[in-house]
């Protein structure tokens, strides 16, 4: 709708008269009664009804006894995103990422907690259909709940369920007022409606329902629409899926050896960031024993791998292995050949202490080897954090002279295996569970 001057405008107001909702109440009849004056409906086609999720949850019997709210949060949690003290940001069973899984101990009797609707989109569809039957009007419905937001103080209402509302307004492919192409603009219309309703409902005013009029273009012309579930960002597009400590833990526990890679190219910048992470590992005597040779061209990788294969075959023949056995063993190294990117970590022992006896000299070298292993682990974990797969293969350690010659490395650079890097061709199989206690000795 437009105002008197022809400027686009809309109206939003709270709907008075909705009583305290209890489990089992017919929410459609309660809202319909509040939306009628002298028996005439005060809702019109094209209106959007904004309903606080708490009354939906109460009507659906989502009030549960819980002397321990944390346990209730555990039951509703699918994945912990971030944790600080007792505060948890989690993904709940509805797919929403929010504080405490949406479990609310306010506006509910003592000793109970309020859970979110089991399926908020289904709840919105039921409300919409019921109001169409009860009042004969075709309205959109948004069910809202209160969210905090990363990088912003304060709370706001967002849509967790919707029916008959265009939840996202995709402007990509259009142009702005200056003719510039819009390539990334998708407006969260349902969230904007939820926030507008919250301005008039308030948090403690006892007004759980609001109405928006004058925006008929946000109401679907037919059907219930995609629902608010369409607004939940998928894991593959989520750049901020985990909090800091959880991201580190996920990268460590989620790191797997990948032996089949896709054709997608590897971002060299991501590998360099992983190298920077490797350089933070502990090392003896304040040294930096890590060097990384990055083979970014197919020619460099082929030249190295061909030379290594020839050296390996010569070694195996010298061991008396059959040609069939040699071919089988060589095939195991194909993971390096199939990867679109290769890194060769090398160890240098500059700064090592020199001792007159073999025992202390061996221990000194082991210190550097351990430090180098820590650096490689950092490298692999950082690659996982960049969503790259990797496989550390020890083969360069068996032909260091060949590797140094092909790559033109200094004599004191010791190749410590090779790391195949790329995008996994398939999702890795689940890792078998390992009980930490099986690997611990306490004295």
Q: Which residues are annotated as a binding site for a divalent metal cation?
A: 104, 145-146
- Residue 176's Cβ-count burial label (10 Å; 0-12, 13-18, 19+) is exposed
Q: Which run of H or of E encompasses 121?
A: helix 120-135
Q: Mark the binding-site residues for GTP, compressed into ranges.
A: 18-21, 53, 58, 107
- 306 in helix, strand or coil? helix
Alpha helices in 282-430 (DSSP H): 298-318, 323-332, 334-338, 358-385, 400-407
The β-bridge relationship of strands 209-213 and 290-295 is: unpaired
Q: Mark the binding-site residues, compressed into ranges.
A: 18-21, 53, 58, 104, 107, 145-146, 283, 315, 394, 431
Cβ–Cβ under 8 Å, residues 193 and 50: yes
Q: Mark the binding-site residues for coenzyme F420-(gamma-Glu)n, compressed into ranges.
A: 315
Q: What is the DSSP letter of 3?
A: -
The β-bridge relationship of strands 48-52 and 140-149 is: parallel
Nearest to 13 by CA among 60, 64, 58, 48: 48
- 193 in helix, strand or coil? helix
**Rg of the Cα atoms in the chain:** 31
Q: Which residues, 6 or more positions from 280, have their beta carbon under 8 angstroms from its beta carbon?
A: 378
Q: Mark the binding-site residues for FMN, compressed into ranges.
A: 283, 394, 431
> What per-residue string of b and e applies to 385-420 under the rule 16 or more CB within 10 Å gives b?
bbebbbbbbebbeebbebbbebbebeeebbbbbbbb
Cβ–Cβ under 8 Å, residues 312 and 333: yes
């Amino acid at each position: 709708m437009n105002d008197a001057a022809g400027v686009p405008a809309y109206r939003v107001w709270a709907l008075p008269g909705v009583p305290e909702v209890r489990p089992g109440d017919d929410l459609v009849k309660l809202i319909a009664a509040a939306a009628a004056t002298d028996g005439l409906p005060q809702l019109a086609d094209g209106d959007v009804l904004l309903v606080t999720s708490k009354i939906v949850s109460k009507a659906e019997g989502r009030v549960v006894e819980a002397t321990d709210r944390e346990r209730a949060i555990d039951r509703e949690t699918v994945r912990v995103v971030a944790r600080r003290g007792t505060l948890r940001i989690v993904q709940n069973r509805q797919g929403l990422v929010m504080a405490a899984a949406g479990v609310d101990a306010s506006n509910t009797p003592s000793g109970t907690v309020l859970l979110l609707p089991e399926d908020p989109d289904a709840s919105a569809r039921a409300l919409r259909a019921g109001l169409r039957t009860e009042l004969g009007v075709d309205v959109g419905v948004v069910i809202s709940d209160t969210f905090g937001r990363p990088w912003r103080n304060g709370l706001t209402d967002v849509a967790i369920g919707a029916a008959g509302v265009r939840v996202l307004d995709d402007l990509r492919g259009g142009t702005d007022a200056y003719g510039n192409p819009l390539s990334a603009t998708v407006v969260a219309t349902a969230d904007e409606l939820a926030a507008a309703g919250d301005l008039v409902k308030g948090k403690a005013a006892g007004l759980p329902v609001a109405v928006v009029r004058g925006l008929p273009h946000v109401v679907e012309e037919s059907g219930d629409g995609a629902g608010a579930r369409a607004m939940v960002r998928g894991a593959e597009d989520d750049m901020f899926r985990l909090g800091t400590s959880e991201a580190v833990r996920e990268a460590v526990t989620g790191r797997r050896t990948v032996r089949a890679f896709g054709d997608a190219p590897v971002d060299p910048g991501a590998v360099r960031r992983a190298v920077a992470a490797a350089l933070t590992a502990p090392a003896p005597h304040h040294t930096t024993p890590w060097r990384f040779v990055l083979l970014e061209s197919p020619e460099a990788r082929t030249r190295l791998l061909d030379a290594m294969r020839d050296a390996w075959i010569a070694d195996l023949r010298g061991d008396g292995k059959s040609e069939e056995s040699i071919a089988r063993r060589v095939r195991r190294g194909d993971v390096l050949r199939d990867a679109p990117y290769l890194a060769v970590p090398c160890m240098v022992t500059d700064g090592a202490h020199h001792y007159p006896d073999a025992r202390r000299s061996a221990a000194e070298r082991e210190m550097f080897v351990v430090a180098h292993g820590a650096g490689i682990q950092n490298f692999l974990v950082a690659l996982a954090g960049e969503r790259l797969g990797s496989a550390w293969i020890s083969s360069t350690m068996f032909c260091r002279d060949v590797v140094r010659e092909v790559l033109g490395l200094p004599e004191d650079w010791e190749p410590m295996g090779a790391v195949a890097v790329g995008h996994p061709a398939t999702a890795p199989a689940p890792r078998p569970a390992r009980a930490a206690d099986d690997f611990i000795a306490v004295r």
